[in-house]
Amino acid sequence: MEKLMRLVSMVPLFLIFGLPFAFAGHDYSQALSKSILFFEAQRSGYLPRNQRITWRANSGLNDGKASGVDLVGGYYDAGDNVKFGLPMAFTVTMMSWSIIEYGKQMAANGELRHAMEAVKWGTDYFIKAHPRPYVLYGEVGDGNSDHYCWQRPEDMTTDRRAYKIDPSNPGSDIAGETAAAMAAASIVFRRSNPAYSRELLRHAYQLFEFADKYRGKYDSSITVAQKYYRSVSGYNDELLWAAAWLYQASNNKYYLDYLGRNGDSMGGTGWAMSEFGWDVKYAGGSDPCCQGKAGHHAPVFERYHQKAEYFMCSLIGKGSRNIQKTPGGLIFRQRWNNMQFVTSASFLATVYSDYLTSSRRSLKCAAGNVAPSQLLAFTKSQVDYLLGDNPRATSYMVGYGNNYPRQVHHRGSSIVSIKVNPKFVACRQGYANWYTRKASDPNVLTGAVVGGPDAYDNFADERHNYEQTEPATYNNAPLLGILARLAGGHGRYNQILPVAVPTSNPVIAKPKPAPKPELTPTHASSSSPITIAQKMTSSWNAKGKTYYRYSTVVTNKSYKTLKDLKLSISKLYGPIWGLTKSGNSYGFPKWLTSLPAGKSLEFVYIHSASPADVSVSSYNLG
């Protein structure tokens, strides 16, 4: 999309003290494929013949029937079985934006068709949910009754009531976001399916008119949504966001003028924001899309631009106030599903970096001018953390890597597939038989991005820990574009991802020489079957103190399987990840019971000292 909508106003709250880790490169193409696949697990309705998540089956086949409307289809938002319209629409908007910006890279990786199918699954549902110009169904199901039960979507016995907005019960935020989704998707299908594209744009026009003419917050009309997706920011941000997308889709100057006239009064240029997501859209509207076209509204769009630059500077630690990060370098906004903010901010940084490159500009920050590549480096650091380059060496994308969440807070994933065991799972029976199990999910929720770690990089892989282990469609949607960009570069601007990823003035300590392998029991000979190698992978300053991250690799050099490993670790003054402590020794992590011949185990720890002393206390070979 020609110089598409960029950041407007996100002002950070906290001080940065993280640093990207330096690891071997990730397979972004594989991660992209898995991330798109996740949406097939979230499908509601009649599943198509080419459905690739085979443990799912048809569900929600009577949705809307009681209201005399066909609402079969759409997406379940997260780990439950409710169809919440606001986050679903944002998901579709962000998937569409990802395709618009990086569709060529998706095509090069063989994923463009799958991504477009994911968008169409959402827009087909929105067409059904918008049966008349001033009517939009914004929710199917009730979060309260749904959360009381733990059932597969195929077994649902919960209330499937449909909730709508209309002139008497308005919802400008959800109507505006759905208009944005339809407008963005119309661009996606403009060439491949022009008739469908025109239909989407027609719905977008009507929905925007509805949202603007009958103003009100949707959760004041659909009150059952308040506990789950409350519209805290109100509806002005969605009106600006929708107008920007409609201008891009139609080139109709009315929507450009709308942005210019209302940018100040609706908060688009003045709000100090610290997030971008399904609720707050101010950061997604744009001034670069309108450069040279703003006319007498130019001062307003310049203020959009200033807010965009302020936030970008804060992301890379070059602003007058910077965004909080964990010690491991991850953006941190809140404990509950923090990863949604990571992926959305990273997507905006990616797009803005490419915009700066295409316009041959640099980022003007309080600390000086910054090259666009540093924004891209920030994005890469966040994605690499998500994929496993973090203090825990945990991938927060299910199915990517070896150490990923196994007890995901997700009904369909946690209960045996109806195709394997068709026996009905009752409402409370699911809690008793499946929710409380301390075992891995029977169905791998491939590609799902879970909520992620806390402010100190800690994470508990437990099904009841919904704040950290529940996935959501809006976690994945912005990630599609980022992964496509990292996998294939930016074809439109011919920008190549830098090989040397710059950091925000880190303090790098010189690595200590790796200690000589310590073998069973303490001073074993070079013929010992176990080797231990340590290295420092990164360091950073936080609140006047220098922290070091050490990676330790234990390798089974024998021709037999290593079992019952016990390690002795002394002079350790910080947290450790990747081992299980038992008394005064450490053993295999919970997800590992043995180490095959020739294989290695990696664990990591962080402290403000030289490497800890690690040695083998005991083991068995068999």
Helices (H), 251-363: 253-262, 298-315, 339-358
> Catalytic residues, which ones?
409, 461, 470
Residue 242 is classified by DSSP as: H
Could you tell me if 158 and 81 are in contact, meaning their C-beta atoms sit under 8 angstroms apart? Answer: yes
Q: How many other C-beta atoms are found inside a 10 Å radius of the C-beta of residue 370?
A: 21
Q: How far is 334 from 232, CA to CA, in rounded Å?
A: 15
What's the token pair of residue 523? Answer: 């001073």
Helix (H, G, I), strand (E, B) or coil at 306: helix
Report the first-to-last Cα separation within the chain, whole angstroms. 59
The size of the chain, in residues, is 622
Helices (H), 110-171: 112-129, 143-148
Could you tell me if 281 and 236 are in contact, meaning their C-beta atoms sit under 8 angstroms apart? Answer: no
What's the token pair of residue 217? Answer: 């917050």
Q: How far is 226 from 219, CA to CA, in rounded Å?
A: 6
Could you tell me if 573 and 617 are in contact, meaning their C-beta atoms sit under 8 angstroms apart? Answer: no
Q: How far is 565 from 131, CA to CA, in rounded Å?
A: 63
Helix (H, G, I), strand (E, B) or coil at 361: coil
Which residues make Cβ contacts (< 8 Å) with residue 560, sequence separation at least 6?
A: 529, 597, 621, 622
Amino acid at residue number 441: D
